[in-house]
């Protein structure tokens, strides 16, 4: 039996490049095991815009890795929102809502897009330039109240990336706010959150629909593992897990039942996947902190951690199950470990 791979070398793939933008995608076609979630790594130069578009078959959850960007979004009730994002910020756009993303500089903006459908693809992304290019000009002119001549500069095909001036706080197009808000309807500052911390082991910051109400189909977290630390054996009963390795190196083992398991090695730029209900662990195998962005296709975060499960059972149940003496069974965890610190070599 050939077991599937749970690793995809996303940042090593040939990108789509154009007019100041770079994008690499991983749907179920490129990463077959990732049936429930897809992802995209995108980079925008200052002033470059991922044009106005919408997704017909997936909601979009994003995390800014580096740089700054501005987004716009339209709701079905006609309300519109403009937000700016910095490293560590998260956004969420419901399926079908028209939106855009523009790099603000001074350097490149890099962000990870996560979609709650493994079959997401550009085939289900609708761009405004493509929409208008495929519509008779007379119809577009009537719709916009302009003449056909005035519409001559419109692209005759999808632009995808377009480049313009970088908006600033004094420009009318920047839509400045009187008082910048830490969180808005579509923006959540994940890295500003106080983390769950295990001394010597690592941290976790998590955002769910409880903290970020617009995010009705997805949740996410950022985990940092110290060298040698282990995100303990666990599984998620309500969601698939999609991982983007931001920094460091790691090993992930995925348990598939019936005597089957896959162990893979990861480095920065790789994507990992753990199906709903599949037991797995992540261990930092390098000498630096391993930082991992994780997306879930459920708005609520649930995890079944091995230590917590064992701690909830009588000692005789564990002794019988594992064939241990009562003395050894009594040494098993009595509380949640979550992240196990590196083993001392003394």
Q: Which of 24, 43, 70, 99 does the annotation list as catalytic?
A: 99
With residues binned 3-state (H G I as helix, E B as strand, rest as coil), the percentages for the chain, rounded to 5, are: 15, 40, 45
Catalytic residue among 43, 53, 163, 205: 53
**Is position 50 annotated as part of the catalytic site?**
yes
Token pair, residue 14, equals 């040939």
Which of 30, 108, 122, 211 is an active site residue? Answer: 122
- Mark whether 197 is an active-site residue: no
Is residue 181 annotated as part of the catalytic site, yes or no? no
Least Cα distance to 38 among 281, 205, 240 occurs for 240
E strand or H helix at 308:
helix 306-311
63 CB burial (10 A radius; 0-12, 13-18, 19+): buried
Q: Specify whether 241 is catalytic.
A: no
Is 300 annotated as catalytic? no
In the residue annotation, 236 being an active-site residue is answered as: no
Catalytic residue from among 7, 55, 187, 205: 55
Nearest to 290, CA basis, from 265, 307, 310, 315:
265
CB atoms within 10 A of CB 153: 5
Given 7, 43, 60, 231, the catalytic residue: 60
Asked if 53 and 74 count as a contact pair (C-beta separation under 8 A), the reply is no
Active site residues: 50, 53, 55, 60, 99, 122
């Amino acid at each position: 039996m050939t077991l599937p791979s749970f690793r995809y070398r996303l940042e090593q793939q040939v990108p789509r490049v154009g007019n100041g933008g770079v994008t690499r995608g991983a749907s179920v076609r490129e990463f077959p095991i990732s049936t429930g979630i897809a992802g995209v790594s995108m980079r925008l130069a200052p002033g470059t815009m991922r044009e106005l578009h919408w997704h017909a078959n997936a909601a979009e959850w994003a995390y800014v890795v580096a740089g700054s960007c501005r987004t716009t979004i339209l709701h079905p009730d006609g309300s519109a929102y403009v937000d700016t994002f910095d490293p560590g910020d998260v956004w969420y756009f419901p399926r079908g809502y028209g939106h855009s993303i523009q790099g603000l500089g001074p350097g490149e903006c890099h962000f990870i897009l996560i979609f709650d459908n493994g079959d997401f693809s550009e085939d289900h992304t609708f761009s405004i330039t493509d929409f208008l290019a495929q519509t008779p000009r007379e119809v577009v002119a009537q719709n916009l109240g302009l003449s056909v001549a005035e519409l001559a500069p419109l692209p005759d095909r999808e632009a995808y990336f377009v480049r313009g001036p970088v908006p600033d706080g004094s420009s009318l197009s920047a839509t400045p706010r009187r008082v910048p808000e830490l969180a808005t309807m579509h923006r959540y500052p994940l890295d500003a959150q106080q983390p769950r911390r295990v001394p010597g082991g690592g941290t976790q910051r998590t955002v769910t629909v409880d903290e970020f109400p617009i995010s009705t189909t997805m949740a996410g977290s950022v985990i940092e593992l110290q060298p040698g630390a282990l995100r303990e054996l666990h599984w998620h009963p309500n969601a698939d897990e999609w991982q983007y390795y931001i920094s460091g190196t790691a090993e992930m083992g995925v348990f598939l039942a019936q005597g089957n398991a896959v162990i893979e090695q990861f480095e920065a730029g790789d994507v990992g996947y753990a199906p709903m209900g599949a037991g797995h662990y992540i261990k930092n195998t390098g000498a630096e902190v391993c930082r991992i962005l994780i997306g879930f296709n459920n708005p609520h975060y649930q995890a079944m951690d091995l230590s917590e499960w064992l701690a909830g059972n009588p000692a005789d149940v564990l002794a019988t199950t594992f064939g241990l003496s009562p003395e050894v069974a009594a040494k098993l965890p009595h509380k949640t470990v979550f992240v196990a610190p590196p083993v001392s070599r003394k």
